[in-house]
């Protein structure tokens, strides 16, 4: 009795499609940084990427889905290394990373426009809140673990502590003419959590 041939599907993505996606995501970040959320248009991203609009719509249903993927890509590429070092060193690395992203990245360049647009667009506001909540999870977990181990002072609320640290960076970017610099990370930790003994 002849054996039926099994049809197997290659689980790896087509390299041409993956290359095209990466070019489009990079173009989306560049476009967002240049014109902000309000001026962001799929047509302009397609022109920057050198593809047709239909190619973009095959992968993303709308501009928010495309922007969300672009931010995810940016986050994955720039996430700090947290495998080594003391809790304080890891936390300083996170704060330097946030300071760098908020000041010197497509995300930082369009941050004011994204916040303003979120006031008018409920879908963008929900996305923005989800994105920030996910982005802050590693910092909150690190602080909670360091409090439990005695590396950070007892009795601190991990979420509130993370908000105090990261909120300072966003406040300086959005509300002052002196953006927070990565070099200030240790001083900020000392101010919020106390100096290392």
Listed by start position, the domains of the chain span 15-71, 80-193
The structure's pTM equals 0.81
Say which CATH architecture domain 15-71 belongs to: Orthogonal Bundle (1.10)
CATH code that applies to domain 80-193: 1.10.357.10
- What CA–CA distance (Å, rounded) separates 48 from 65? 18
- What CA–CA distance (Å, rounded) separates 128 from 147? 28
pLDDT score recorded for residue 12 = 62
pLDDT score recorded for residue 13 = 61
pLDDT score recorded for residue 34 = 84
pLDDT score recorded for residue 1 = 46
**Residues of the chain predicted below pLDDT 70:** 1-14, 197
Which value, in Å, is the radius of gyration of the alpha carbons in the chain? Answer: 21
pLDDT score recorded for residue 141 = 97
The DSSP letter of residue 6 is P
Burial state string for 74-110 with b = 16 or more CB within 10 A and e = fewer than 16? bbeeeeeebeeeebbebbbbbbbbbbbbbbebbbbbb
């Amino acid at each position: 009795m002849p054996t039926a041939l099994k049809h197997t599907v290659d689980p790896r993505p087509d390299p041409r499609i993956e290359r095209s996606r990466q070019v489009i995501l990079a173009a989306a970040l560049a476009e967002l940084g240049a014109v902000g959320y309000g001026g962001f248009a799929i047509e302009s991203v397609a022109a920057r990427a050198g593809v047709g609009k239909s190619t973009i719509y095959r992968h993303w249903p709308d501009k928010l889905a495309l922007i969300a993927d672009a931010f995810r890509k940016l986050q994955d590429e720039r996430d700090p290394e947290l495998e080594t070092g003391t809790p304080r060193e890891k936390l300083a690395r996170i704060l330097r990373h946030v300071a760098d992203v908020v000041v010197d990245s497509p995300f930082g360049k369009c941050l004011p426009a994204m916040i303003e647009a979120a006031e008018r667009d409920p879908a963008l506001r929900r996305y923005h809140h989800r994105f920030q909540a996910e982005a802050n999870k590693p910092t909150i977990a690190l602080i909670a673990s360091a409090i439990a181990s005695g590396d950070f002072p007892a009795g601190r609320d991990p979420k509130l502590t993370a908000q105090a640290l990261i909120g300072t960076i966003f406040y300086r970017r959005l509300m002052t003419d002196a953006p927070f610099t990565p070099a200030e990370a240790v001083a900020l930790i000392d101010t919020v959590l106390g100096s290392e003994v």
